[in-house]
Amino acid sequence: MQSLTRFIERDLKLKVNTEKSQVVPSSQCKFLGFRFRGKQILWHLKSMDKFKHHVRELTNRTWGVSMRTKLRKLSIYLRGWINYYGIANQYQQCIDLDHWIRRRVRMCYWKQWRKPRTKVRKLLQLGVPLRAAISCGITSKSYWRSSKTAGINMGLGNKYLQQQGLFALRDGWITFHHG
């Protein structure tokens, strides 16, 4: 550590922060939000926690803004995040995060519709069969549990959410890696 510090400060004319700096194998270090395993670049767990916390804030059920505003702000954040963290070799995690984010967005829609008759009417407008719309609309399940039901997934499907402006991490990852 001393020889590296001396080289960096004397020859490269850079200042080394001794509190943050360490000499360890690359598999044990965190660098700019990433961790390394062999030749793989992976997201650090703290980066993932911070990401999920921010998505929870943007999809908060009690945030009193329109869904269009929520989706716009969420999509801006997701684009920026994947443009920085897209270098990681974690395609499957992008798919898993997309699934989780869409479920949170469905939960927000469900909360915003509030009354059972509004829920049924909106689901019918989205093409959900009458029986499924009624069973979803009168359920006593929580918003989070309801967001996973077949009727809501049918009405607020991936295609519909994409039309409303929700950005998919998977698409950003593919664009980043394959142009």
pLDDT, one tens digit per residue, over 63-117 is 888 999 999 999 999 999 999 998 888 899 999 999 999 999 999 999 999 999 9
Task: Report, in this order, helix, strand and coil percent for the chain, each rounded to 5.
Answer: 65, 5, 30
pTM of the predicted model, to two decimals?
0.85
* The pLDDT of residue 7 is above 90: no
Whole-angstrom Cα distance, residue 99 to residue 147? 11
The number of beta carbons lying within 10 Å of the beta carbon of residue 18 is: 9
Greatest mean pLDDT among 4-8, 103-107, 138-142: 103-107
pLDDT at 57: 95
The pLDDT of residue 158 is 93
- Whether the pLDDT of residue 171 is over 90: the answer is yes
Interatomic CA distance for residues 116 and 138, integer angstroms: 6
Question: pLDDT per residue over 21-76, tens digit each?
Answer: 777 776 777 778 888 888 888 899 999 999 999 999 999 988 888 999 999 999 99
Model pLDDT, residue 83: 92
